[in-house]
Copies of this chain bind each other. A is one copy, B any other.
Amino acid sequence: MENLKNDLFLRACKKEPIDRTPIWIMRQAGRYLPEYRAVRANSDFKTMVKTPELATEVTLQPVDIIGVDAAIIFSDILVIPEALGMNYEMVESHGPSFDWTISSESDFNKLSKSDLSDKLSYVFEALKLTKKELNGRVPLIGFAGSPWTLLTYMVEGGGSKNFSKIKSLIFNNPTLAHKLLDLISETVSEYLSLKIKSGVNAVQIFDTWGGLLSPDLYKEFSLNYIQKVIAKVERTDEPIISYAKGIHHSMNGLANTGADVISIDWTHNIGKVRRQIGDKVAIQGNLDPTVLYGSIDVIRREAVKVLDSYGKGSGHIFNLGHGILPDISPANTKALVEIVKEESKRYH
């Protein structure tokens, strides 16, 4: 077992006793940091994702600059659709755009399950290099999109306002949707297993679009596949975090997928969620990302509200309820980390 200098994050995931609450920040390797923008000025987003040295560099930045308790590899959830044969571009101030999209059985047949360890070797190399550079300072997190979220991108071809294509698919051809979700789930499981083999200490599954679905359909098309992914991931004791955006109806369902941690958005009262799911899993979250627009006093007040709502004991990983916004000041972000480190002591 690796000797980590700071294993608070992993201990909190397992609800083991700790002396303060760990914190990391979703999208912490990102545009709000001038140091990130400096790297980005010379390379486009996909080049950064595909170049292990660059991915490692920006992954380490928040550890060095902001002082978070975990690193998360800089990468993109859409490398999985790409590995299945769907090329995409990241269009400046617009988002991802796929060359082609899936709408029929014949599109399904165009997908090719290739050897991930070869096709995505740049990810595994970036992980190994990052582990080396981290040198045990903090744990490293790997991640993937949930099958439903990846399918949404593959069918819509990018972002969407009304998500009419993916919704049409599940209403008009649920059999094809399930076939696609099966394929994606298998691929995601294999991908996360390979990440763990490459040295990550935990993995997070991002379900960004589960909130589009009514409770029944969420269970059928998203939750069930998150559960399938988790069941098949090969791991020893690496925790799995399941991030659910806009989900309020299925907290117990999420806590029963086999995930060790559920990660919730800021529209929840974290203490209520804790009481609702009992002691089954740890909880990550859930500060409103826009609190970081406030003064240090506001940040302290709102951060303490979250700590206080969760209450005493282990099992809380402090985080935002969604990714940090690109126009947030690094100074405020650093202040949040320090506030949580200091204020959380009295809850342990």
Contact = CB atoms under 8 A, between A and B. Distances in A.
A172 B246 contact: no
A34 interface: no
Interface stretch (A12-20, A50-58, A149-157, A293-301): A293-301
Contacts of A213: 267, 288
B168 A266 contact: no
A295 B290 CA distance: 41
A172 B290 CA distance: 11
B267 A171 contact: no
Nearest to A291: B171
Q: How many copies of this protein are present in the complex?
A: 2
Interface of A: 162-164, 167-168, 171-172, 211, 213-217, 246, 248-249, 266-269, 288, 290-291, 293-295, 298, 305, 325, 327
Contacts of A164: 290, 293, 325, 327
A267 B248 contact: yes
A163 B269 CA distance: 21
B269 A215 contact: yes
A312 B291 CA distance: 44
A214 B172 contact: no
Given A248-B248, A248-B249, A172 B295 contact: yes
A172 B298 contact: yes
